[in-house]
Amino acid sequence: MIEMIRAGEKPAIGMIQFNPLPDSSRWRGGDIGGVLDFALEEAELLVKNGIKVLMVQNLHDIPVAERATLAQVAWTTRVVNEIRNIHKVPVGLNFQENDAEAMFAVASAADVDFVRIKIYVGGMMAPWGPYTSQAHTAIKARIRTGADKVAIFADVHDRTGTPMINGGFEQDVAYAVELNGADGLVLTGKDYAQTLDYCRKARGVAGDVPILVGGSVNGENWSEVVSVADGAIVSSCMKGSGKSFGKLDPEKIRSFAAAIAA
């Protein structure tokens, strides 16, 4: 996906939110079919209606533990591999557990294009507990698994948590890129206005490092978003519910894709 950005494209990354995985707080039993079939259906809807980059995430597992389990890693690898075999588009990955080891295990086996790591600098208090930087773990895991081509997109001050030690947003952007080696940034403020402010401030610090907006994006504000960022992760505006949870709506996907192409 970084190649798309460097070529001048502004990708809209369509989210595929898995049904609950084994061992999660919302798992109620069953085999992999319930997760696989739903994910493949969502991927098909996104790609055939104009979305060129996908990202998978286990949102329906929240509240999550500190680490993904072996079953979760195995099932995610299978699902991502199936998606990649069908759709020749870049696919990204995020585990809500912020487990860089697990993400690179999947990424190296299933040809993932990029991973999103939500706590990459310092520490954050998430709704389900404290998490600390995964920068060292991520870089070592990338080397160990031979996943050199998998880009690391790091959140800075992700909106679903509160920094435990706050040296300031711009300082943490510099830490993410200059000290911790992030390939790109994902920025999402507590509201849309703060998101735009984050992007402007980060650009002054990070230069031409790719910046993605991580939320609150729709067809109406797309032009403004990509005036300060290099693309965006998109979910709620394409859901029937209008929220992160729920199924994608094909008409809403088409409407969004048409708006960003205009």
- Each residue's pLDDT, cut to its tens digit, for the chain (262 residues) gives 999 999 999 999 999 999 999 999 999 999 999 999 999 999 999 999 999 999 999 999 999 999 999 999 999 999 999 999 999 999 999 999 999 999 999 999 999 999 999 999 999 999 999 999 999 999 999 999 999 999 999 999 999 989 987 779 999 999 999 999 999 999 999 999 999 999 999 999 999 999 999 999 999 999 999 999 999 999 999 999 888 898 999 999 999 999 999 7
Contact present, 98 and 117 (Cβ < 8 Å): yes
How far does CA 22 lie from the centroid of its chain?
21
State the Cα–Cα distance between residues 85 and 152, nearest whole angstrom: 22
When divided into structural domains, the chain yields a total of 1
* Residue 93: strand pairing partners: 56, 115
State the Cα–Cα distance between residues 173 and 121, nearest whole angstrom: 8
State the Cα–Cα distance between residues 93 and 73, nearest whole angstrom: 11
State the Cα–Cα distance between residues 170 and 205, nearest whole angstrom: 7
In this structure, the number of other CB atoms found within 10 A of the CB of residue 25 comes to 12
C-alpha closest to that of 184 among 123, 113, 236: 113
Q: Domain with 230 in it: what CATH number? A: 3.20.20.70
Amino acid at 165: I
For 49, the domain range is 2-261
Q: Is the dihedral of CA 172, 106, 101, 244 positive or negative?
A: positive
pTM of the model: 0.96
